């Protein structure tokens, strides 16, 4: 029997440089770059977790967030959102909270899963931590978010994060769209010319 993979749109949000792309690179390709370039342009990844019957379509911001110009279309139809902040950067935590608010205000899907991720936890040992874990955990619990501290660099909690999101997806993830949609890229259907009677 062939297992049906449920396609789920997952969006990344968070301050520039918080490590959104690095987390996805780690998850999708098992790679990490010390000099990961700021994301402009190409920004779409897919990754299946067959054991969980999920295929994630992961959207990165394509740099539109840079000047606070992310289009709401970006999170339209999302099943899950990962909101990333940098544990060494308090401003990025504030920005993350704003993203959570914006998601709650704009996303119609009542089952949207939001995961809050404190990235770069590898730097915490060097005393660079600025956002206490307890603060973030409390905020996440109060707001109903999944919460992880992670490191794309040392591969801490990355697989766990995506696994947990996959587990929380509604099982029979019914298509959210009303039926009757049209695939525009389809070639025109050659219609048999009905004979006219005159």
Note the residues at the interface with Mg ion (CB under 5 A).
20-21, 39
> 152 with 118: CB under 8 angstroms?
no
Q: Which is nearer to ligand FAD, 98 or 168 (CB)?
A: 98
The token pair that represents 3 in the structure block = 């297992």
Segment lying near other proteins (by CB under 8 A), choices 80-88, 104-112, 123-131, 143-151: 104-112
| Residue 67 touching ligand FAD (CB under 6 A) | yes
The token pair that represents 177 in the structure block = 């769209």
Q: Which is nearer to Mg ion, 18 or 88 (CB)?
A: 18
User: In 3D, which of 103, 102, 105, 131 has the Cα closest to residue 117?
Assistant: 131
Please state, in angstroms and rounded to a whole number, the distance separating the CA atoms of residues 156 and 148: 10
Residue nearest to ligand FAD (CB): 68
Q: How far is the CB of 19 from Mg ion (least distance, A)?
A: 8
DSSP code at position 119: E
Which of the residues 88 through 127 are near ligand FAD (CB under 6 A)?
Answer: 95, 98
- Rounded to the nearest 10 degrees, what angle do helices 133-143 and 90-106 cross at? 10
| Residue 30 touching other proteins (CB under 8 A) | no
What residue ranges bind ligand FAD (CB under 6 A)? 67-68, 95, 98
């Amino acid at each position: 029997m062939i297992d049906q993979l449920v396609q789920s749109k997952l969006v990344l949000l968070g301050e520039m440089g918080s490590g959104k792309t690095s987390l996805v690179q780690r998850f999708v390709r098992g790679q990490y770059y010390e000099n990961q370039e700021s994301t402009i342009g190409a920004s779409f990844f897919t990754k299946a977790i067959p054991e969980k019957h999920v295929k994630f379509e992961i959207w990165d911001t394509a740099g539109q967030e840079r000047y606070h110009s992310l289009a709401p279309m970006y999170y339209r139809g999302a099943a899950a959102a990962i909101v990333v902040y940098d544990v060494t950067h308090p401003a990025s935590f504030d920005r993350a909270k704003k993203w959570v608010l914006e998601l709650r205000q704009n996303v119609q899907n009542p089952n949207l899963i939001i995961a809050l991720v404190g990235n770069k936890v590898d730097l915490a040992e060097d005393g660079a931590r600025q956002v206490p874990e307890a603060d973030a955990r409390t905020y996440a619990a109060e707001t109903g978010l999944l919460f992880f501290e992670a490191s794309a660099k040392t591969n801490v909690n990355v697989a766990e994060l995506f696994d947990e999101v996959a587990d929380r997806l509604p099982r029979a993830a019914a298509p959210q769209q009303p039926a009757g949609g049209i695939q525009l890229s389809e070639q025109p259907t050659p219609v048999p010319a009905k004979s006219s009677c005159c």
